[in-house]
Structure 1
Amino acid sequence: MPPRNQPSSQPRRQRRRPPLSCIECRRRKVKCDRKDPCCHCILWKIPCLYSPKTPSASARASGRRSVTPLTTNSSRDGTVQQPGAGHPTPETNENHNGEKTIPASPDPTPNTKQDPAELERRLCALEQMARSFAPAWALEKLDEASSSHSAPACNGDAFSFRKSSLYGKTHWSDGSHIFRNISAFLNAESDCAAENEITRRLKLDMRATVLKYKTLAKSLKSSQPGKYFPSPDVSLPTKAVADRVAQLYVSRFESVFRIVHVPSFWGEYGQYWSNPLGTPDAIRIKVQLVVAIGSSLCPEAHSTQGVRSAAAQTVHDAQRWIFGPWEKNRISISGLQIQCLLILARQVLNVGGDLVWVTMGTVVRTAMHMGLHRDPRHFENITVLHAEIRRRLWATILEMNVQAALDAGSLPGIASDDFDTEPPSNCNDEDLHDEVYKLEQRPDDTVTDASLQRHILSVLRPRVEIVRCMNSARKEVDYEEVMKLNSVIMDACRRCVTLTRRTVSDGGEVFRRNMGDLLLRRFLIPLHRPWVDRARKSALFFSSRKQSLDVAMALLSPPGDEGFSHLCMLGGGIFKHRLIHVTLTLLMELLAEIDEHDGSQPPEEPCSYRKMLMSGVEETRRQWEQRVQLCDTSMKLHMKICMILGQAEGAETGIALQQSMAQHGKASLESSYSLLESSSGLQPLDTGPTGNSGDFLHPGENLEFLDFDDIWRFDDLMAHGTVGHSFW
């Protein structure tokens, strides 16, 4: 029997936890957030590398093969994926926590056919791993070898998937990657303990204000008309106000979106006012929608709570009428006109205007069911007036469809080969009536009521090509094609200015010019965005960087028009996405300028350019404040604008970066809360029994309280009133 104290012949196995922090954070002995890259490596501008792990006993017992590259992070619960005996494959996936993992895959055999897309993904992953370990001179060679004129891979995935919604490259989320460093800057710790404590208190104050803002926004949304079941009893404003705003609609919007025949509409308008209760539902809803849309151009009228509530209620009433019990009168020219007016009203009044692309599918199919995609010459016994109304409506539907597809990051769903309808005739509305049997078109150089719509329709094909190439799952566009499309759109914008200068002097020339320019020029920002990042590494693509900035500045400050300015501050859809894309473009350029010139060049020239960029960013901040004053509850982009301005000012003044950004973020949240509170008229909310912002945090709660990688989340399809529905 061996003695008890005799040592065992088996060596004792020492269990050691695998390191979860990155190599640099372990070397500096600071807390790592275990992201890829982590917040400190972003702050220090160095590669973020993770050590390889050793295989666990369970992995060896099960025989499963799971490998983890150096840049793979551990999961939130502390478990890690262990490498097996096989060679690692470069393919990576994302789990539900947003962390990158490498799935197990069998060894390829010579007879196995490789998917080209699979090989391309593996090649991209290998390049990323090579960049992590290669020296600077090797990276320069790699950039030179990979710089080609083919479409660049976008930052991250080609598509973004958010809350059951898939968005392509033309959606604003494709440019939201510029905000990923904000949370890294805030969560990183400096060497000064006092600065860390100040930043911590500022973040606590930000959390308290966020919770108050969210509660106020929910209260405001719940009090809007039509929250649950809209009432069919919608009252218009006084006839004097209705006459004014209806005239504004006819003289402004009808120049681009030809929905109604103006003389016929005025006849229906008079019929409604002569007998409101006895008017057919189609005429009543059409008149109410026109008045509601026109009220958006009249700040003094729309500032009245009764007018705003009636306008929002009109949208819900029209929506209920369209999707009510299906009757034959829905499939008619009047029914189609109401659907088009409803699409426009939802965007103008910001009532579910961000999701009109889904509804546009119904509108397009209704129009095709009625044969609007076939030219009226194919039909017998059709009057000249009816034929022109069909052509105008079809052109309007095509325009609304491509605009909605651009904002949704989706495909248009209809190609040029799917229809043969001719453009509308170049004539005025007075030339069209029931007794006209042969229409004499005016020369193309003669400006008529249909000139602007005809001009915008003439550049429909290149804009559809932009949306299709950017959002397609397979098709890509090379740089030469990008510059060709850019030239076509820019020529059309210049032609638009010439057309609007020669129109009738009724006070709407500037509005028509701004509207036409917006519908054309805004396609260029998503077109150039994939090339802007590459332009910072290669001068071959510098034109995209310059064009993107020029377009953003032109859309940010169009020629002055009170009605158009109020519409841009009030509206959703087209008008809200204008400001989002412009903001992202200017912020992207400002961050690039800070990164390129800080401490590397004399401050004279960079400072002048930076001041110009900061002036543009300040204008976007001011416009977002105006939207909050009109009860738009979106506040996260305004906060991020202020934080990036704080980053720029901190770089100039030498203030601690985290402290400067946190101060600006706190000031933004407090300002937005005050504006929304004053515009809503609701009672202020208490912060707690003591008013201390720390009361909103439970002991041990994580301070990473803001999701900086997600600007907005769309709630429901139908937001209510003039309240934006993209708060959280």
Structure 2
Amino acid sequence: MGPERRRRRPAISCILCRRRKIRCNRGTPCSNCAKSKSAACVYRDAPPQPQLQGPSADPTSPEAPSLTPSTSGASSTIPIPTHSSLPTTTSSTAVSVDGQPPVSHVRPSKSQTSSLAEQQRSPPIPAPAATSTFTKTSRVDTTTVDFAGKVYFHHEHRLPGQPEAVTRSVTHKRRLFGQSHWVNAIGLLPDLFEAFEHVMRDKASKASELEKRCKALGRVIKARRAPAWPCPPTPELPARAVADALVECYLRTSEALLRVLHIPAFTREYEAIWDVNSAAPDPAFLVQLKLVLAIGASNYDPAFSLRPWAIRSVYEAQTWISAPEFKSLLGIPSLQTSVLLLLARDATGIGEDMVWASAGTTLRMAMYLGLHRDPAGIGPRATTPLLVEMRRRLWNTTLEIALQSSMDSGGPPLITVADFDTEPPGNFDDEQLMCPPGDEPPTPKPANHFTQTTAAIALRSMFPQRLAIARYLNDLASRGTYAATLAHDADLRAATKTLNRRLHACRDPAAGGPPPALCLRALDLLVRRYFLSLHLPFFAPALTEAAFAYSRKVAVESALRIGRTVCAAPPPGAEPAIEDGTSRELDGLLARRATSGLGLLRTAAVQGFVVIGVELTTLLREEEGLGLGVGVGGGGPELRPDLLAALEDFSAWTWRGLEAGETNTKGYLVTHTVVAQVEAMRRGLGKEDLARYVMQAVEEGVERCLGLLEGIVAAGEGDTPGSVGMETGGPAVEVGVEDWPYMMPDSLFDTAGGEFSNWFSDGALL
């Protein structure tokens, strides 16, 4: 008998490297083939499909990924048109494994190589064309674009003969974002960003040099605003008239949707602050009050004139809450402060893109306090109506922040409806909960009676459907088939219609009058943001594939509605927002919050802007392709005026953001460039003339930004807390904390007909 034949190891190098007997890094193409400029970098064997572990790997689960891509109409592998596809590689192609940051080389161990040989049973897969980004050694294909640093778009493993998959995640600056993050929208405008980056990288370009000066000025402004760390709380408050206006702004906007405070109790302590005969105020209440004022400051005036003072207030609260006395801070007041701090960071743009991480701490603090268990089941500790309702309200708000931060950050929500049994808040006005001990507990008002808690109850009624969408977009196990997208759309639509009917019943004057228009518009904006994020992954395929036309319709109509709510210019003579205790121009408060702060409103607006820009450029290309002619003298059909107006509004809105204190100019420059590109296409300019037109627009935009920032620096913005007058509300509070850096990352930057025009609009419900 001859010697035992050794089992042959699988070939893991490309064919050319194997033939030349040189080491292969197994890239696509590998480094050797890239150096030799060979287009024949082909691998003989295909890697095995990855095996998922855990409950999500159950093939019967609706969210379980399919290891063999389906060829049905509900497949998650969707064709993307050339002109609006994911950006092609501009500098390098990286390999990513399971959505992790790209790596250039992975060397398997002997045991892993043996496992590969044993698992490899499928026939070899033909090599793709040289221009494809198909990566045979990973689950995802990766393309890159140079915009604000490398942005890596990961889309699922694709087999030859099947359409390309939609983007599933994005890696940028060492962070991984799911589909709900606004950065995914960058992939819809590859041509624009390529041209924009070309101008910025051109050393001879005037725009490039001016943009560097803008960045330097932005750093100066941000440094002036940031106080020293740690920043102990102080009793310094705005003048009484200004403070009253800020409290009113907060109560009419943030508190109307996200219940944190018991307003009568808060008002009583607030009045005592200004009473010279009262005792020294509680330092913990002063911290809460300054956070309330900081949130209100983002709505106070279009220029956000109190931004430096609001930023300091947030720093003080962060210092206070970072104290090492953990157990003493474990209580309802401390949880209220934690929630207000998250809302204030979002409103002032301080570490807003890290709120998702901090929200996890707040959620667990609430669980430590037992807020995830309904008060009816935790014994005698929660017996008074006030305490019962405050626990339910705070848990409701904590859930909402966890969900919204998940959507903003593109991170998984990390909570399910099975993790709590707390009932929604009751339909009470706050005064009802002031009953003395021993009295008959109050009865919730009927569902058709609008109270101070009705809007929060409305959010909770749609929580399961919205949570399912966040998990569908951002969870690792989700594969996002179109059938699943339509199912989530139907669920949210049904929940919205049910809520719509409930709010419509509140219009009866006998039941307290109609709901405030501001609450209705805020709810409308929030719902449309979920529809937009849900359908955005299929928006690009919908531009050429009729099977996804519904996603195109939903995305465009949602984007238009968001633009009208967030980006419309406020009417003249609308400042200050509150005068003599009476609300003025409430419709502009949402727009001011979107202009001054970040978070939900701004990310929704960015997504909407991209959809409108892509829709307009697509329509122009379609007209040109049909030979209809575009431009002033072309005689072709006119574009939708609402789309053009929305695009102009988006550009003007980003400029107002700079005027309100935003220091990152790229948001304005990109929107300004898109407007110029659309205008050039409407004029029918050729490729070279269009490029010159866009380059000129970029240079003009940078010059305008530079002039604005130079004026802010010259005026000394950030050196003082504002010209509103400051008063002392109590003794200074010193808090000792460990010296750790406070993170201030760079800031990001009614159509006629159809059912979308009716939801929550102007109080005119279905």
Normalised by the length of structure 1, the TM-score is 0.74
Deviation larger for 518-527 or 616-625: 518-527
Larger proportion of helix: 1
Structure 1 match to 2:599: 573
Q: Any idea what the Cα deviations from partners look like across 1:86-133, whole Å, max 9, x if unmatched?
A: 6275899x9994456898999999972259xxx89x97985997899x
Q: 1:299 aligns with which of 298, 301, 309?
A: 301
Instruction: State the Cα distance separating 1:588 from its structure 2 match.
Output: 2.3
CA distance in 2, matches of 1:124, 1:164: 33
Residue 237 of structure 2 aligns to a residue whose secondary structure is coil
Is the 8 Å Cα contact of residues 426 and 450 (structure 1) preserved in structure 2?
A: yes
Q: Any idea what the Cα deviations from partners look like across 1:247-287, whole Å, max 9, x if unmatched?
A: 23223322211100111111121233336882222111111
Is the 8 Å Cα contact of residues 427 and 448 (structure 1) preserved in structure 2?
A: yes
Is the 8 Å Cα contact of residues 230 and 317 (structure 1) preserved in structure 2?
A: yes
Structure 2 match to 1:87: 44
Q: Any idea what the Cα deviations from partners look like across 1:405-459, whole Å, max 9, x if unmatched?
A: 0001011111100100001111111100251552312221222111111111100
Q: Which amino acid aligns with 2:527?
A: L
Instruction: State the Cα distance separating 1:225 from its structure 2 match.
Output: 3.4
1:529 equivalent in alignment to 2:555: no
Is the 8 Å Cα contact of residues 493 and 520 (structure 1) preserved in structure 2?
A: no
CA distance in 2, matches of 1:564, 1:611: 24
Residue 609 of structure 1 aligns to a residue whose secondary structure is coil
CA distance in 2, matches of 1:499, 1:326: 48
1:308 equivalent in alignment to 2:298: no
Residue 171 of structure 2 aligns to a residue whose secondary structure is strand
Q: 2:743 aligns with which of 711, 718, 721?
A: 718
CA distance in 1, matches of 2:201, 2:286: 58
CA distance in 1, matches of 2:26, 2:175: 31
Is the 8 Å Cα contact of residues 30 and 41 (structure 2) preserved in structure 1?
A: no
Is the 8 Å Cα contact of residues 318 and 342 (structure 1) preserved in structure 2?
A: yes
Normalised by the length of structure 2, the TM-score is 0.70
Q: 1:86 to 1:164 in 2, by over 3 A?
A: closer
Residue 621 of structure 2 aligns to a residue whose secondary structure is helix
Structure 1 match to 2:330: 331
1:602 equivalent in alignment to 2:628: yes
Residue 226 of structure 1 aligns to a residue whose secondary structure is coil
Structure 2 match to 1:516: 523
CA distance in 2, matches of 1:332, 1:86: 61
1:542 equivalent in alignment to 2:575: no
Question: Root-mean-square deviation (CA), in Å?
Answer: 4.1
Is the 8 Å Cα contact of residues 185 and 657 (structure 1) preserved in structure 2?
A: no
Q: 2:679 aligns with which of 643, 646, 649?
A: 649
CA distance in 2, matches of 1:125, 1:634: 43
Deviation larger for 492-501 or 366-375: 492-501
Instruction: State the Cα distance separating 1:324 from its structure 2 match.
Output: 1.3
1:591 equivalent in alignment to 2:617: yes
Is the 8 Å Cα contact of residues 374 and 420 (structure 1) preserved in structure 2?
A: yes
Residue 387 of structure 1 aligns to a residue whose secondary structure is helix
Is the 8 Å Cα contact of residues 169 and 470 (structure 1) preserved in structure 2?
A: yes
Q: Which has the larger radius of gyration?
A: 1
Structure 2 match to 1:367: 366
Residue 338 of structure 2 aligns to a residue whose secondary structure is helix
CA distance in 1, matches of 2:505, 2:607: 27
Q: 1:54 to 1:154 in 2, by over 3 A?
A: closer
Q: Which amino acid aligns with 1:390?
A: R
Structure 2 match to 1:287: 289
Q: Any idea what the Cα deviations from partners look like across 1:5-61, whole Å, max 9, x if unmatched?
A: xxxxxxxxxxxxxxxxxxxxxxxxxxxxxxxxxxxxxxxxxxxxxxxx9947xx756
Deviation larger for 382-391 or 646-655: 646-655
Structure 1 match to 2:650: 620
Structure 1 match to 2:696: 663
Q: Which amino acid aligns with 1:296?
A: S
Instruction: State the Cα distance separating 1:238 from its structure 2 match.
Output: 1.1
1:160 equivalent in alignment to 2:170: yes
Deviation larger for 473-482 or 518-527: 473-482
CA distance in 1, matches of 2:47, 2:190: 24
Percent of aligned positions that are identical:
24
CA distance in 2, matches of 1:125, 1:484: 40
1:416 equivalent in alignment to 2:417: yes
Structure 1 match to 2:62: none
CA distance in 2, matches of 1:660, 1:441: 62
Q: 1:650 to 1:202 in 2, by over 3 A?
A: farther
CA distance in 1, matches of 2:675, 2:699: 13
Deviation larger for 420-429 or 556-565: 556-565
Q: 1:635 aligns with which of 652, 657, 665?
A: 665
Q: Which amino acid aligns with 1:580?
A: V
CA distance in 1, matches of 2:384, 2:345: 32
* Ranges in structure 2 where 5+ consecutive residues have no aligned partner: 1-13, 50-88, 96-103, 135-157, 571-586, 718-740, 750-766
Is the 8 Å Cα contact of residues 67 and 83 (structure 1) preserved in structure 2?
A: no
Q: Which amino acid aligns with 2:663?
A: T
Instruction: State the Cα distance separating 1:465 from its structure 2 match.
Output: 0.3
1:202-241 map, 5 Å: 204-241=205-242
Q: Any idea what the Cα deviations from partners look like across 1:660-718, whole Å, max 9, x if unmatched?
A: 2211111121122222333443599xxxxxxxxxxxxxxxxxxxxxxxxxxxxxxx973
Q: Which amino acid aligns with 1:159?
A: S
1:551 equivalent in alignment to 2:558: yes
Is the 8 Å Cα contact of residues 314 and 341 (structure 2) preserved in structure 1?
A: yes
Instruction: State the Cα distance separating 1:473 from its structure 2 match.
Output: 1.3
1:433 equivalent in alignment to 2:434: yes
Instruction: State the Cα distance separating 1:518 from its structure 2 match.
Output: 2.3
Is the 8 Å Cα contact of residues 401 and 412 (structure 1) preserved in structure 2?
A: yes
1:30-179 map, 5 Å: 55=16, 62-65=21-24, 87=44, 89=46, 97-99=92-94, 112-114=118-120, 126=128, 153-155=165-167, 158-179=168-189
Q: Which amino acid aligns with 2:743?
A: M
* Residues matched between the structures, number: 606
Instruction: State the Cα distance separating 1:322 from its structure 2 match.
Output: 0.7
Structure 2 match to 1:355: 354
Instruction: State the Cα distance separating 1:299 from its structure 2 match.
Output: 0.6
1:247-262 map, 5 Å: 247-262=248-263
Structure 2 match to 1:704: none
Q: Any idea what the Cα deviations from partners look like across 1:559-618, whole Å, max 9, x if unmatched?
A: 871222211110111222122111122122223223333242424796422654333211
Instruction: State the Cα distance separating 1:227 from its structure 2 match.
Output: 5.0
Q: Which amino acid aligns with 2:216?
A: T
Is the 8 Å Cα contact of residues 383 and 437 (structure 1) preserved in structure 2?
A: no
CA distance in 1, matches of 2:338, 2:513: 28
Structure 1 match to 2:447: 444
Instruction: State the Cα distance separating 1:538 from its structure 2 match.
Output: 2.2
Is the 8 Å Cα contact of residues 395 and 457 (structure 1) preserved in structure 2?
A: yes
Structure 1 match to 2:462: 459
Is the 8 Å Cα contact of residues 201 and 208 (structure 2) preserved in structure 1?
A: no
Is the 8 Å Cα contact of residues 178 and 410 (structure 2) preserved in structure 1?
A: yes
Is the 8 Å Cα contact of residues 556 and 611 (structure 2) preserved in structure 1?
A: yes
CA distance in 2, matches of 1:226, 1:89: 56
Is the 8 Å Cα contact of residues 485 and 534 (structure 2) preserved in structure 1?
A: no
Residue 176 of structure 2 aligns to a residue whose secondary structure is strand
Structure 2 match to 1:691: none
Deviation larger for 172-181 or 424-433: 172-181
Q: Which amino acid aligns with 2:468?
A: E
